[in-house]
Structure 1
Amino acid sequence: MTDDVIQTGKKLVIDVWADVLCPWCYIGEHRLSKAIESSSHSERIELNVHTFQIDPQAPKEVTPTMDFLARKVGMTVEQVRPNEEMIARQARQDGLVYHVDRPMKNSFDMLRLVQLGNQFGLGWEYMRAMQAEVFGGNQQAFEADTLLRIGVAAGLPEERITAVIDGGEFGGAVREDRRQALDMGVTGVPFALLNKRFGIPGAVGVTQYSDAIERAWKDPSDE
């Protein structure tokens, strides 16, 4: 019997915990997507995104990211800028747009919309579209009009997006995703879990994601 016959119907499930405002999530999601696209098993990979709010106490008003980071760690903007510049260089090497001087705001409402996206199988696409706006430096990235525009472009119903923006739907789902991750010992994101067995903390390289996909696919415990 050939491997193709043995593996008929087999699939690989990848669960990813991430936050819209997390720089390394932005980079890691891009790398993971490339690894999946290049995999010979790409048609049989199921990718699920789970929300993980890094800082539930972040301000609810839009503020410059550099100012927020400086206040959070008790340093000056000049002192925190080099680290952000380093991340920006890494992102650009990966072909991503990354503005150090970008806006930020509490991500809870954005993550509620990611949960809405999950209902339509579009949570991953919606999150990455939000990140493109945020890290692209769009000063209106958190505005309802922007979130509506990119949500509709991703394939979500306009009326459902509007209802979630105007209400409190999916707040419980956001909190539950974070609790589940913390219960597993996850303290930072991105965090990827392959077939509920192989954990990958942080934004590793495309090659490392690809190798992990192959290892998980060949895991004998799944046969």
Structure 2
Amino acid sequence: MVKQVTQPEGPQVVIEVWSDLGCPWCYVGKHRLQAAIAQRPDAERFEIVMRSFELDPGAPQEPEKNETSFIRAHGGTAAEVLQAERQMQAIARKEGLEFSLDRLNANTFDLHRVVQYANDQGRGFEFFSSVQDGFFAGTLNPYAPDTLAGVAETVGLDGQRVREILASTEYSDRVCADRDEGLELGAVGVPFIVLDRRVAAPGAQKVLVYDQLLEQVAGPVPRVRVS
């Protein structure tokens, strides 16, 4: 007979994710973290909270080509950027993720302000994830207010409220505070993940590593045994 050995559900575990929209490793790392959580029978214990971290605070408001954005911020040539993008595309596709090479980048501060609002409504991760997935798939313009309002509505948020936020400066202080706190905790880039305020994980880890980190903060998963 196969019996499920159950364990107490245990307390909620908060996983804070410092991330930015156009970071490819944030995109891949997010899905790896989700996969690690999903394979646990106690997946509902884990709450992912998005934290804001602009990688390029000086990026222009007007969208520009991905290679233009990268060269402006980091140097290099268009050929080098394309080669790196193709390598990242191969990694993403190997994990079942869409990855368009035809992306535009711009300042993400306003998006982060909406994420802060979404966090207040308990929908921060769902909202950010939907925007980022559409962005990397090449099916969504994250810099258009109407687009963000539409995505917000799909995850149960008030689209009109999103438009009001984008037309104001609301949540600006919180976006800046998030980045400052991430730096204080040791983030030198993103993704940067803090589990239960006890364990930090810089960079996009493998699913197995995330699984080990989840076990470290939440205990082992329930086992199945034959008796």
CA distance in 1, matches of 2:71, 2:53: 22
Residue in 2 that maps onto 1:99: 100
1:68 maps onto 2:69 in alignment? yes
CA distance in 1, matches of 2:74, 2:208: 33
5 Å-filtered alignment, 1:71-82, equals 71-82=72-83
1:49 maps onto 2:50 in alignment? yes
CA distance in 2, matches of 1:97, 1:130: 13
User: Deviation digits for residues 43-87 of structure 1, max 9, x if unmatched?
Assistant: 211221111111101111111111211232332211221111111
Residue in 2 that maps onto 1:89: 90
Contact 1:66 1:81 in 2 (8 A): yes
SS across alignment from 2:48: strand
Structure 2: runs of 5 or more not aligned: 221-227
CA distance in 1, matches of 2:41, 2:212: 12
TM-score, length-normalised on structure 1? 0.91
SS across alignment from 1:188: coil
- 1:3 offset after TM fit, Å? 8.2
CA distance in 2, matches of 1:134, 1:45: 25
Contact 2:9 2:42 in 1 (8 A): no
Contact 1:151 1:158 in 2 (8 A): yes
- 1:9 offset after TM fit, Å? 4.6
Residue in 1 that maps onto 2:213: 212
Residue in 2 that maps onto 1:28: 29
Identical columns (%) = 34
- Aligned residue pair count: 216
CA distance in 2, matches of 1:84, 1:115: 29
Contact 2:13 2:218 in 1 (8 A): yes
1:110 maps onto 2:92 in alignment? no
CA distance in 2, matches of 1:8, 1:139: 38
- 1:149 offset after TM fit, Å? 0.9
User: For the structure 1 residues 41 and 47, does the alpha-carbon distance in structure 2 shift closer, same or farther, using more than 3 Å as the test?
Assistant: same
For 2:136, the aligned partner's letter is: F
Contact 1:103 1:137 in 2 (8 A): no
SS across alignment from 2:97: coil
- 1:17 offset after TM fit, Å? 0.8
- 1:130 offset after TM fit, Å? 1.2
Runs of 4+ with >4 A deviation: none
For 1:91, the aligned partner's letter is: A
Residue in 1 that maps onto 2:159: 158
- 1:139 offset after TM fit, Å? 6.5
TM-score, length-normalised on structure 2? 0.89
CA distance in 2, matches of 1:46, 1:133: 22
User: Deviation digits for residues 2-38 of structure 1, max 9, x if unmatched?
Assistant: 984xx45522221111111211111111111111111
SS across alignment from 2:132: helix
